[in-house]
Amino acid sequence: MTVNDRPVGYGIDFGTSNSSVSIAYPDRVEVLAWGGSAARMLPSFVYLHRDGRRAAGNEAVRTFLVSGHEKTDCWNCPLAPYGWDTDCRQYRRGGGCNDARLLSGVKHELAKLGFAGTNSWATDFTVGALVSVVLGRLKGEADRTTGHLVGSVVLGHPVVFAGADPQNRIESDAEAFRRLEQAALEAGFNEVAFLPEPTAAVIGEHAHRGVEIAVDFGGGTFDVAVLDSRDGAPRVAGIAGIAIGGESLDGILFETIVGPALGLDALPSWLFNELRTASSVRLLMADPGIPAILARIGGGAADVVHALLYEGYAYEFYRAVESAKIALSNAETTRLEFAPLSLGVEVRRSTFESMIRPELDLIGATIKQALADAETTAGDVDRVLLTGGSAYIPAFRNDLALVFGEERLEQRDAFTAVVHGLGVRAQQLWGPVAVSL
């Protein structure tokens, strides 16, 4: 083994839907492939079991599909004393609880000042502790691959955190960074640096001279960075972001088509809105007053909500909604079916695109803001680098083509461009020759 085979740090892209890790060596950066396969993404799922088991990624999903519907009645549970003074919120709801939980979209909770974590089996799980399950899985696999215990990591972050309080951005951002750092420390790292995700997407693009834009349309946010290399050394000239991502679009699909098809539009508006996404539905799961509210509402809509919240169907249901959205990137129509709730509805791309037009217009304004901050124009841009899974949405790409021209759009690997750049930054920070940014 040579000195160039000893890693100097890792880069981790902790995403709303998927996460990945890159390994920074003194002379190169490699994005980790899982289990010797070509897959370079770890789905950002967190599995929790009442017996203490934890898992992340596809392992979390596989394990949950086996155990997710298992349930322990309160009278057979050793965790809950039989009284209303118990710490177990599930007991106060009544009826027992599932033995396992599968969480997704935890990244959405990082900046929420009013959300400290979730509770199951008389145990509180902080946001940082949940994130650490994913980071620990990424670190563990990278350590096994390299044969070294690496303590330094560069974590990517959006320009605007989803869930941040728009009236208190400074405090929300500070809380998100604190939770991310806590998660990294709990995962086994001892040195943590941060880099905006759109900056990471362009940080390795040093061979090109001119003006480039990196747009990262991920699961939780849209971020854009302008890289200006006209004077030789590249610099980030403008950066902007907005809390609109793939899950936001899933929520629109639910609100306009899926929810009404299930009769859920008969619910109180506040409850209907909380059911829009997998992330928001977790708040309902943590609310001990919801069962009583559903009992008062009654009827088929309440039964559907109960099944989603307490019978283990939430993961599969919201995955079906997301899959329908993804299918519309390649087809004019798709059929969204979910047998456990007797759901079957056709969705047209044209309908979906008209529904998300306000969000696409806000994204366009965000790009204009980044260009203005960089004191440049769309005509000055030589390349537009597209990353993130939502960048495949045809209406989004068409909007970019109208502004910049189709010939200037370059699709990067949607899920590894950012993490590769984070690895480059780790190499700059902790490699043989330190580089400032």
> Each residue's pLDDT tens digit in the chain (437 positions)?
566 788 999 999 998 888 999 999 998 999 998 755 556 788 888 888 877 888 888 888 888 777 666 776 665 666 555 454 555 555 555 545 677 778 877 887 888 887 777 766 667 788 889 999 999 999 999 999 999 999 999 999 988 887 777 778 888 889 999 999 999 999 999 999 999 888 888 776 555 678 889 888 988 889 898 888 777 667 788 888 898 999 899 999 999 999 999 999 999 999 999 999 887 887 777 677 788 889 899 889 999 999 888 887 888 899 899 999 999 999 999 999 999 999 999 999 999 999 999 999 999 999 999 999 999 999 999 989 898 888 889 999 999 999 999 999 988 776 788 899 999 999 999 987 555 55
| DSSP-assigned letter for residue 194 | E
pLDDT at residue 95 in the model: 47
pLDDT at residue 365 in the model: 96
Q: How far apart are CA 30 and CA 358, in angstroms?
A: 38
pLDDT at residue 116 in the model: 74
- 139 within a domain of the structure (yes/no): yes
* Residue 156 CB partners (closer than 8 Å, separation 6+): 11, 12, 13, 14, 194, 195, 196, 197, 200, 418, 419, 422
Domain count, the chain: 1
Q: DSSP letters of 198-224?
A: HHHHHHT--S--SEEEEEEE-SS-EEE
Alpha carbon 189 to its chain centroid, in Å, reads: 21
CB contact at 8 A, 211 and 337: no
* Tokens (6 digits) for 410: 């370059």
CATH number of the CATH domain containing 131? 3.30.420.40
Helix axes 127-146, 169-186, angle to 10 degrees: 40
Q: How far apart are CA 417 and CA 369, in angstroms?
A: 23
Alpha carbon 168 to its chain centroid, in Å, reads: 22
pLDDT at residue 32 in the model: 92
Q: How far apart are CA 426 and CA 429, in angstroms?
A: 5
Q: Which of 106, 140, 129 has its CA nearest to residue 32?
A: 140
pLDDT at residue 74 in the model: 63
Count the neighbouring beta carbons within 10 Å of the beta carbon of residue 260: 14
- 95 within a domain of the structure (yes/no): yes
- Which residue type does 145 have? T
- 173 within a domain of the structure (yes/no): yes
Range of the domain at 14: 3-202+417-430
Q: Which of 258, 310, 307 has its CA nearest to residue 287?
A: 310
- 97 within a domain of the structure (yes/no): yes
- 155 within a domain of the structure (yes/no): yes
- 306 within a domain of the structure (yes/no): no
Q: DSSP letters of 4-49?
A: GGS--EEEEEE-SSEEEEEEE-SS-EEEPPGGGSS---EE--EEEE
pLDDT at residue 237 in the model: 86
Distances (CA, A) of 174 to 134, 180, 245, 429: 21, 10, 21, 22
Alpha carbon 192 to its chain centroid, in Å, reads: 20
Q: How far apart are CA 36 and CA 34, in angstroms?
A: 6
State which H helix or E strand residue 344 sits in: strand 343-348
**What residue ranges in 36-160 does DSSP mark as E strands?**
42-43, 46-49, 54-56, 71-72, 97-98, 100-103, 117-120, 123-126, 152-157
pLDDT at residue 229 in the model: 78
- 142 within a domain of the structure (yes/no): yes
- 85 within a domain of the structure (yes/no): yes
